[in-house]
Every structure is written in structure tokens, then in C-alpha cells.
Chains A and B, each alone.
Chain A
Amino acid sequence: MREAAVVSEPNPLQRIPGVAIVLVLLIALFSAIAPGFLSVANLSNVLVQSTILTMLALPMTLIIMTEGLDLSMGAVLTLTSLCVAIVSLATHSMLLGLGAGLLVGAAFGVANGWLVAILGIPPFVATLGTLGMAQGLSLIVSDGQSVVGIPHSVRDIYSATVLGIPVPIVMALVTYAAFHGLLYHTRFGTYIFALGGNREALRYAGLSPNKLLIAVYALGGGMAGIAGLLMTARMNSGHPTAGLGLEFDAIAAVAVGGTSFERGNGWLLGTLLGVLSVGVLRNGLNLISLPSSVQVASVGVLVIVALFLDGLRSRA
């Protein structure tokens, strides 16, 4: 099902309807049935809560564009969040904590990339294995307990503002800008399109698809490290199950956002709208007092529907 060479930006007219309609419908639905949904406080809450997911969904988009998948992202985020908590607790330094999270996250990313690219293990199994490893390490370093008493410098990141905008939103916007620049305006971005669409072309051009793949997965791990800092700041603690399952929300955002699982083309703005759709869905269900278990199930349904539509489109 591969198209010849997809190196241009996708035709937005073809895509915008799908994910934008989902988002508008969800907003309309919850405005009607959920009291307080449209308040400024709640909407800004949705945005702030979507920041961690944005940081996972953007690299997930690139990984899925290479016809890959990273199921370990939520577990790696959990581990990096714990690393941030433990290191910042020991050193009283937010930056050292962030450094530790980045390092551990990137190491897992490189390991994922190595398993997929060099050993040739199918991505969903390779990252399922590293999911177990990250989950196990989270339990081991925390001994199954929460890490509490982290310094204020970490906690403040989640509540501080720059020019009136919460810092997490600033971080998410910077991340989006960086990924947009990387994917659409650098050579590396073009190579990522080729990794999914036409890997042979990369080889003929004298490039190493394996190294590029490892770089893409490492980027995902590193972003999980940065998101780990936000997670620790948000919970004001490190918890051994904090981020489990978040990779699923990320996959949901990518799928709803119109990135194809079969054709190696991706669309970052779609992913961003997908993240907001997932955020609005969870927030709205929360406002009408449905438990988080129902939110999880609805995201599951959202993914299956999105993938079904994606399958229809790729056959059309």
C-alpha cells in the first residue's frame, strides 16, 4: 500500500474535515450537555492538561510515519518522571532532574530504535518488550512507592506563567513549532517521509535508513523525558504507574489526526487537533461525572473508529 514518494506536505483540504469535524462535534456536544464546559477556566484546563499528551503525540506521529509504533512511551514516561523526582529530590536541582529524565528517555528510545532497525524486530513487539522493562524499572527504582517531597523548582514549572500563558502550554507550543520545522523544513524531515514511503530511495541516496530510524525513536524517548518533568511537576510527586497507558492516548491522537498507519504520511497539525479531541473528550466525560474508566473505553472506541476510517480512505 505504499505510495511512490510522498515528500510534499499533504493536501490539507483532504484532511482538515475529518479531525476538525470530530473536534467541533465534541466541543458542541459537551457545550450542550456538560455544565461549565465552555468556561474560560475549564478550557484553559483542557489546554494545560493536553500538554503532556502533545509532547508524546508529536514524536509518535513521526514514529508511525515510519510504519512503526512505540507502545513503551507511557511506561518510559513513568520511568523518566520517577527519575526526575528522585534526582531532583537528591540534588535539589530541577535541571539535573530534567537531565536524568532526558537521558533515560533517550536511552530507551535508542534501544527501541536499535531493536526495530538493527535487529529487525517488529515495532509493536519490540516496544511491548521495552514497555515491560520500563514498567519493571519504575517499580524497582521506586520500590512500588510514590516519591514525594520534590523541590519547589520542579513543581513550579506546572503552575508558573510566561506573559500570562502557563509554562506547560508554552513548552507544548515550542515543541510543536520545533517538530513542524523539523518535519517540513529540514532534510531530516524529508528523510522521515521517505522512511515510511520509500526506504529504498534513501539507500540509493547513500543514506542509512537504520540510523534515521534510531534517531526517530530516540526523539520519542527524549520527548518522553521532557514530558516526564511535566508529569512530576503536575503530580508534585513521582508515581510508579503515573503514565501507564498514555501511549494509547498518543496513538489515538495520531490516528484521529489523520496520520495513516499504512502509507507513511503524517500530518502534525492533525495530531495537534487529535490531542485536543482526546483532551476535550476526557474533560467533557469527566464534567458529566463519568469515571475515568469510561473515558479510557471511549478513547478506545475513538481509535478503532479512526482506524476504520483510515482503512476506508487508503482503499478508496
Chain B
Amino acid sequence: MTDISKDVMAPPRSFLSQDAIQVFYRLLAALLICAVLAVLSDSFLSLGNILNVLRQASLTFFIASGLTLVVLTAGLDLSVGANVALSACIAGTVIHKTGSPALGILTGLACGGIVGLLNGVMVTALRIPSFIATYGMLWVLNGLTYWYMAGETLHGFPAGFRQIGSGYLFGLPIPVYLLLVFLGIGTLFAQRTIWGQEIYAIGANPVAARLSGIPVAKRLLLVYTVSGTMAGLASIIFLSRLNSAEADIGESLTLPAIAAVLIGGTSLFGGVGTVFGTFIGALILTLVLNGMNLLSVSANWQPLVTGIIVILAVWLDMKTRRRAQ
């Protein structure tokens, strides 16, 4: 990297920047929701429920964190949910056939990563707009998964493997530890590495990024591959938590992941947002859905509420950005 590139890059994001203020507001919102739910429902503050919320939020976060990088480049990955389903079904088959969880995990991650790489190729080499390319991929993956599973359900995995999704360590669910690890890695990568900063720069101004010597295509390939691999990771957690795999497990995952990214303050127009914000976004969304659950609202209402939240989040983002300008 030359010095020129640094001039056009977004300034390094520290925790005391504009972003920090945005994250602070969102933390307040999360606390407010907690307070309301604690008043409305007796069981909300129980340890079991709080751990449950954290575990649910971590599942959304795994998918949403990779997606955050894609959205930071002003792209979108609509195939994440379908990717989780395919990866889970393939990883499950491998575990059943070989009896080796490690091999299954590797296969799941690889499957997710390859799908992500293909998305990246469509966006960079074929120059198809990302939301259409990944939307096409969604249906290709859906078709493949349903064809591969042929209506079957994979069930019953080794006890050790099931610990990943449902086990505890020092009283906390294991996915929560994974969440902290990936939150740390994601934040460090985006905020503190040159590649991370280049991703912000691409989203803020792709032409300036290219002219300043950033290998735009390579970085885009990277973010789509990371997004796919994180979907692969989520598929492993899902597989191990549900102890079963079906072709339709991914259908209700994409919209919440996008919602988490947008609630977390990452702008659809690229260049603005943080992985930590996405964590808060996943937490807020999970709290809302958990609250509905505790208040005995039918699960049928979840897509409606998630849809409204997506639109509200984009609208609020655009409003605050307009005011800032």
C-alpha cells in the first residue's frame, strides 16, 4: 500500500468515534427493551432465559458478522440462509458417513466458503449486481439442498459434536464463547488491519479505492468468501444444537441476519458500520423475538415484525445520515 491510498481511506475507527456514539444509542435501546420485558414478563430475567437469548443472538451474529463485511462494501448477500441449510446438510452427511465430527466441521466450513467464493466471482468477474447474484444463488442452493435431501431428515450426531451447540462451559453456553471470539476477530480485522480499512474504503468510494491502488476485486472476493464461511460456521452450530438437519432450516435465517446488520448501524450504502454494532443488532432483534415468545405471541408474527424492523432500521439510518450531512 502506498501513502496515497491512506488519504482516501475512511479514518480509522476507534471506540470514541461517531461510531461509538451510534453503538452507545443501540446499547441503550437494548437495555430499554430489557427493562420493558422485565416488567412485562416474570420469566424474562431468569438465568435460563438470558442464556437462551445470548445463545440465539450468537447464532444470528455468526451469519450477520460476515454479512456485515459484505454490506460495508455496499453489497448484499441474500444467500446466507440457504447457504446455512446446504452446509448443514452436507456436513451432517459427512459426520454420518465417516463418524468424524472434525471432518464434518471442515466440510461445512468449506462448503459455506465455496458458495461465498462463487458469490464473489459473480459480483466481481461477471459484474452482476450483488443482490441479484446472491438472490439467484439463494434459489440455486435451495434447489440443490432439497434435491440432495429428498425430503429426508438427518438425525442423531455424536454427543461430543452436540456439545458445540448445546453444551456449557463455566455456566455459559459454548456458542457464547465462540461469539466473543468472532466478535473480537471481526472487530480487530475491520478496525485494525489494512485489509479491513480497505474494505471500508471500497464501500465509501469504489472508484477512489480502485484509483488508489486497492485490489478491489480481491477484497470483494474475500468478503463474500468470509460471509459464506461464517454461514458455514453457523450451519455447524445449528446442526449441533438441533441434532438434526433438514432442507428448510435456512429459510427463516436470512431476513433476521440482514435485520441484525441494519439495526446495528451498518449502512446499506457502504463504508459505515461496525461488527460490534451488528452484535448489538443481533441482540436487539433476539430480545424482541424472545419477548414476543415470552408474551405468548404466535411465532407466525415473527416474519412480519422482522420485516417491519428491517424497513425501520434502514429508514432511521438514512434519516440520521441526512441530518449528519
**Footprint of B on A, CB under 8 Å?**
69, 71, 115, 119-122, 124-126, 128-137, 139-140, 143-144, 245, 248, 251, 261, 291-301, 303-304, 307-308, 311, 315
Contacts and interface: CB of A to CB of B under 8 A. Distances in A.
Nearest to B306: A132
Interface in B126-183: 126-129, 131-133, 135-147, 150
Given A128-B258, A140-B300, A133 B308 contact: yes
Contact of A124 (B76, B137, B255, B305): B76
A133 B306 CA distance: 8
B308 A129 contact: yes
Interface residues of B, number: 44
Contacts of A307: 126, 128-129, 132-133, 136
B305 A136 contact: yes
A314 to B, nearest CB: 9
A296 B262 CA distance: 29
B300 A295 contact: no
12 contacts: A115-B311, A121-B318, A122-B268, A132-B310, A133-B307, A144-B300, A293-B147, A296-B139, A296-B142, A297-B141, A307-B133, A311-B128
B99 interface: no
Given A120-B318, A130-B307, A132-B306, A308 B298 contact: no
A303 B142 contact: no
B135 A248 contact: yes
Interface string B256-273: 001000100000100000
Contacts of A122: 268, 314
B11 interface: no
A8 B144 CA distance: 42
A125 B314 contact: yes
B310 A128 contact: yes
B215 interface: no
B142 to A, nearest CB: 6
B303 A133 contact: yes
A121 B315 contact: yes
B30 interface: no
A248 B139 CA distance: 8
A115 B143 CA distance: 31
Contact of A121 (B135, B137, B303, B311): B311
Given A121-B311, A125-B314, A292-B146, 12 more contacts: A130-B307, A132-B304, A139-B300, A140-B298, A140-B300, A143-B298, A143-B300, A291-B150, A297-B140, A297-B142, A300-B139, A303-B136
Contacts of A308: 122, 126, 128
A68 B185 CA distance: 36
B5 interface: no
Interface string B192-230: 000000000000000000000000000000000000000
Contact of A132 (B128, B136, B307): B307
Q: Which of B129, B133, B138, B143 has the most CB of A within 10 A?
A: B143
A124 B135 CA distance: 10
A102 B190 CA distance: 47
A132 B303 contact: yes
B302 interface: yes
A261 B137 contact: no
A315 B142 CA distance: 31
A306 to B, nearest CB: 9
B301 interface: yes
A139 to B, nearest CB: 4
Contacts of A144: 300
A266 to B, nearest CB: 16
Q: Which of B132, B142, B145 has the most CB of A within 10 A?
A: B132
A130 B133 CA distance: 20
A31 to B, nearest CB: 24
Q: Which of A124, A300, A303 has the most CB of B within 10 A?
A: A300
Nearest to A247: B135
Contacts of B143: 293-298, 300
Contacts of B127: 311, 315
A247 B137 CA distance: 14
Nearest to B148: A293
Contact of A133 (B78, B141, B304, B315): B304
A189 B153 CA distance: 51
B310 A293 contact: no
A139 B140 CA distance: 25
A125 B268 contact: yes
Contacts of B126: 304, 307-308, 311
A299 B78 CA distance: 17
Nearest to B254: A128
Contacts of A311: 126-128
A297 B128 CA distance: 18
A119 B318 CA distance: 8
A56 B43 CA distance: 46
Interface in B99-141: 122, 126-129, 131-133, 135-141
A241 to B, nearest CB: 10
Given A120-B318, A304-B136, A311-B128, A297 B147 contact: yes
